[in-house]
Amino acid sequence: MAVVLGPNRYGKAETRVVRVTRDGEAHHLKDCNVSVSLSGDMEEVHRRGDNAAVLPTDSQKNTVYAFAKKHGIGEIEEFALLLARHFVGSQPAIHHARVEVEEYAWERRGPHSFARSGAEVRTCVVHHDRDGTTTVVSGLRDLVVLNSTGSEFHGFVQDEYTTLPPATDRVLATAVTARWRHVPPDGGEPYDHGKSYEEVRRCLLDAFAGTYSLSLQQTLFAMGERVLLTRPEICEVRLELPNKHHFLVDLSPFGLDNDNEVYFAADRPYGLIEGAVAHDDAPPAGPAWD
């Protein structure tokens, strides 16, 4: 019986880079948070502290900044791919790179003045392996949405611990975390990740708003399906939807009715619905979701 090293990775997390591009009077801004994770020939460093195969996480941070200068930061998926290919391509001991980028949105307030727009964050995770395979997952988090009607919940299992009454008109609210996996490119023209992001986001919002919901699971599936049926570049969608409960307040002790008007927005506990929706012919995901 021996002790073995299992799956492992290391890197620099949360390098905060802001890239300004000057276009005459007008400036453009990209504000990102980059996390790199590398893996490969790491037996010796774990067993003996021999760092001969270790590219310091400090160098990874430097690379992020240098690449931001040399290549600019276009769509975050492309920036992540540049970095991932660089680490695997330049370091023989690095067999695999995972690069995650978060982007914070700003709206223009002047030629070189900006205001953060929204709590919502655009995300991507890219994997690149020395065997040449690459996976790209785009996403968003902290997109908070609410339907004030058009949601029911009934017909559920009644066990000995069930006290929930059926609901025929309830508030449905969630903070969407969505990630979607791209069909691997076929060698043709790369498509526009910025446009793809906007369109997927619209699909998610429209499906949430437009689905008459009998359960949050149904809404989840509808959101994923809408993306898959609309956007051919996407083969799988994964969603995490906390059910942000809004409880109708009992106002009867005060001689008041409450016809779905006054709600208590609860913190915890909350329902949590997680699920994947995919094309049946989606290629294998490999490490895409790691």
Q: Which range of residues in 75-83, 130-138, 189-197, 239-247 is near its own copies by CB under 8 A?
A: 239-247
112 annotated active-site: no
62 binds its own copies, rule: CB under 8 A = yes
| CB 131, min distance to its own copies, A | 22
SS3 80: helix
Identity of the residue, 143 or 192, whose beta carbon is nearer to its own copies in the bound complex:
143
At residue 214, what are phi and psi to the nearest 5 degrees? -100, -5
Identity of the residue, 124 or 143, whose beta carbon is nearer to its own copies in the bound complex:
143
| CB 118, min distance to its own copies, A | 5
Q: Which range of residues in 51-59, 75-83, 124-132, 186-194 is near its own copies by CB under 8 A?
A: 51-59
Q: What count of other Cβ atoms lies within 10 Å of the Cβ of residue 145?
A: 16
> How far apart are alpha carbons 21 and 24 in whole angstroms?
9
Out of 61, 128, 182, 245, the active site residue is 245
Choosing from 71, 74, 190, 261, the residue that interacts with its own copies (CB under 8 A) is 261
Nearest to 241 by CA among 183, 172, 288: 172
147 binds its own copies, rule: CB under 8 A = yes
SS3 205: helix
Q: Is 123 exposed, middle or buried (0-12, 13-18, 19+ CB in 10 A)?
A: buried
59 binds its own copies, rule: CB under 8 A = yes
Q: Which of residues 173-202 bind its own copies (CB under 8 A)?
A: none
Nearest to 204 by CA among 178, 175, 181: 178
Choosing from 89, 116, 184, 192, the residue that interacts with its own copies (CB under 8 A) is 116
Enumerate residues 6+ apart whose C-beta is below 8 A from 196.
Answer: 138, 182, 231, 233, 234
Residue labelled with tokens 């994947």: 276
Identity of the residue, 169 or 192, whose beta carbon is nearer to its own copies in the bound complex:
169
Choosing from 41, 85, 93, 130, the residue that interacts with its own copies (CB under 8 A) is 93
12 annotated active-site: yes
SS3 105: strand
Q: What is the largest CA-CA distance in the chain?
A: 76
195 annotated active-site: no
Q: Which of residues 29-48 bind its own copies (CB under 8 A)?
A: 29, 31, 35, 37, 42, 45-48
Answer left, alpha or beta for residue 155, where phi above 0 means left and psi between -120 and 50 means alpha.
left
Q: Which range of residues in 132-140, 182-190, 191-199, 248-256 is near its own copies by CB under 8 A?
A: 248-256
8 binds its own copies, rule: CB under 8 A = yes
> How far apart are alpha carbons 20 and 22 in whole angstroms?
6
Q: Which range of residues in 122-130, 131-139, 155-163, 188-196 is near its own copies by CB under 8 A?
A: 155-163
| CB 170, min distance to its own copies, A | 11
89 binds its own copies, rule: CB under 8 A = no
Choosing from 95, 133, 215, 230, the residue that interacts with its own copies (CB under 8 A) is 215
Q: What count of other Cβ atoms lies within 10 Å of the Cβ of residue 121?
A: 16
- Catalytic residue ranges: 12, 57, 245
